[in-house]
Structure 1
Amino acid sequence: MTQTAEFIPLNIAVLTISDSRTEADDTSGQVLMTRIAQAGHRVSDRRIVRDDIYQIRAVLSQWIAIPEVHAVVTTGGTGVTGRDGTPEAIKPLLDKEIEGFGELFRMLSYEEIKTSSLQSRAIAGVANATYVFCLPGSSGACRTGWDRLIAAQLDHRTRPCNLVMLMPRLQER
């Protein structure tokens, strides 16, 4: 008899990084919030900060210090312009980087936007036992990242393995 694993709802925070977005026009943040809820997870917090490494680090540092926040998904600031600083803000806070996330994201994006995908510096990792996923600022990129990568890895039922099953071991030293 095969037993199916039960769904485990997670608390996920959403951070939009933008110099111009507000809650009223933050379509990317809204895409993420909607998809998180549709998947059965809870949005534990949502914020918008300017593309400033210290503001980004301040919010992420708060969230990773809360044990009940299991994951953070950011949108914006992953490009190559002078104001795009999300990877530089996030990487110093990561205990481990999940290199395959960025590689797979760009591969999947290539199917949709061809060589423009090389401009993405999407990253993911673990910071204080919290998963952190950094997506580009377009709503299409957020759909691709959530639908084709993050949702399955944050679902305990995904086989052969998923990130949720590793959560009890994230703080091992």
Structure 2
Amino acid sequence: MPKIDETRPFVPVRIAILTVSDTRGLDQDKSGDTLVARLEADGHVLADRMILRDERAEIADQLRRWCADEAIDVIISTGGTGLTGRDVTVEAHRDVYEKEIDAFGTVFTMVSMQKIGTSAVQSRATGGVAKGTYLFALPGSTGACKDAWDGILKAQLDYRHMPCNFVEILPRLDEHLKRSKS
């Protein structure tokens, strides 16, 4: 059964937030604000934050820059995961991933189903790993960001969460890159 092991120390992670939108600025970015408030309330560090237009190459380039930044452990994007022609965030993420976390989208759908029923099928939330960094693409709605954080990321980004969590394997995500340099 999942639990928090209080004998383990809390390990804060450094998280960058990317909002993908053709229409919003930081002052209207409720989904980004929601993620920042939750990550900070849970003891993590906001490493960077920005808004980009729904442009696949621009999104992928920014994800790559953040993956190359040793001061960032996790990237969470919000927006651009739907089915319309301008929704290209998932494709941009997959352009960057070395490995996809296949179950992330499935678990997100399960969490969403509890709130919005079959409308959850319209989301293409995804997660992956690149250059030792976790990347997660969430829908642009505030509710979806709350669901993803509260239902998945809060636990998986807590080193104390048992039986396992993303933080404990964070130092090993790029071991294949270190091996190839020697």
TM-score range, shorter chain: over 0.9
Match of 1:64 among 41, 64, 67: 67
Change (3 A) 1:139 1:3: closer
- Structure 2 equivalent of residue 7 of structure 1: 10
- Structure 1 equivalent of residue 179 of structure 2: none
**Normalising by structure 1, what TM-score?**
0.97
What is the Cα deviation at residue 29 of structure 1? 0.3
Distance 1:94 1:58 in 2: 12
After the TM superposition, list the runs of 4 or more consecutive aligned residues in structure 1 that deviate by more than 2 angstroms: none
- Structure 1 equivalent of residue 121 of structure 2: 118
Distance 2:103 2:41 in 1: 25
What is the Cα deviation at residue 90 of structure 1? 0.8
What is the Cα deviation at residue 91 of structure 1? 0.3
- Structure 2 equivalent of residue 83 of structure 1: 86
Given that residues 12 and 43 in structure 2 are in contact (C-alpha distance below 8 angstroms), is that contact kept between their aligned partners in structure 1? yes
CA RMSD, Structure 1 to Structure 2 (Å): 1.0
Distance 2:32 2:6 in 1: 36
- Counterpart secondary structure, 1:56: helix
Residue 73 in 1 paired to residue 76 in 2? yes
Distance 1:84 1:171 in 2: 29
- Unpaired runs of 5+ residues, structure 2, are 177-182
Distance 1:168 1:35 in 2: 24
- Structure 2 equivalent of residue 39 of structure 1: 42
- Structure 1 equivalent of residue 109 of structure 2: 106
Change (3 A) 1:3 1:136: closer
- Counterpart secondary structure, 1:5: coil
Distance 2:81 2:94 in 1: 12
Given that residues 60 and 95 in structure 2 are in contact (C-alpha distance below 8 angstroms), is that contact kept between their aligned partners in structure 1? no
- Structure 1 equivalent of residue 130 of structure 2: 127
- Structure 2 equivalent of residue 139 of structure 1: 142
**Normalising by structure 2, what TM-score?**
0.92
What is the Cα deviation at residue 39 of structure 1? 0.7
- CA offsets per residue over residues 42-91 of structure 1, 9 Å max, x none? 10000000011011012111100011200000000000000000111110
Given that residues 76 and 135 in structure 2 are in contact (C-alpha distance below 8 angstroms), is that contact kept between their aligned partners in structure 1? yes
Identity among equivalent pairs (%): 47
Given that residues 74 and 135 in structure 2 are in contact (C-alpha distance below 8 angstroms), is that contact kept between their aligned partners in structure 1? yes
Matched letter for residue 53 of structure 1: R
Distance 1:70 1:124 in 2: 14
Distance 2:59 2:6 in 1: 42
What is the Cα deviation at residue 168 of structure 1? 1.5
- Unpaired runs of 5+ residues, structure 1, are none
Deviates more, 1:75-84 or 1:51-60: 51-60
Matched letter for residue 130 of structure 2: A
Matched letter for residue 39 of structure 2: I
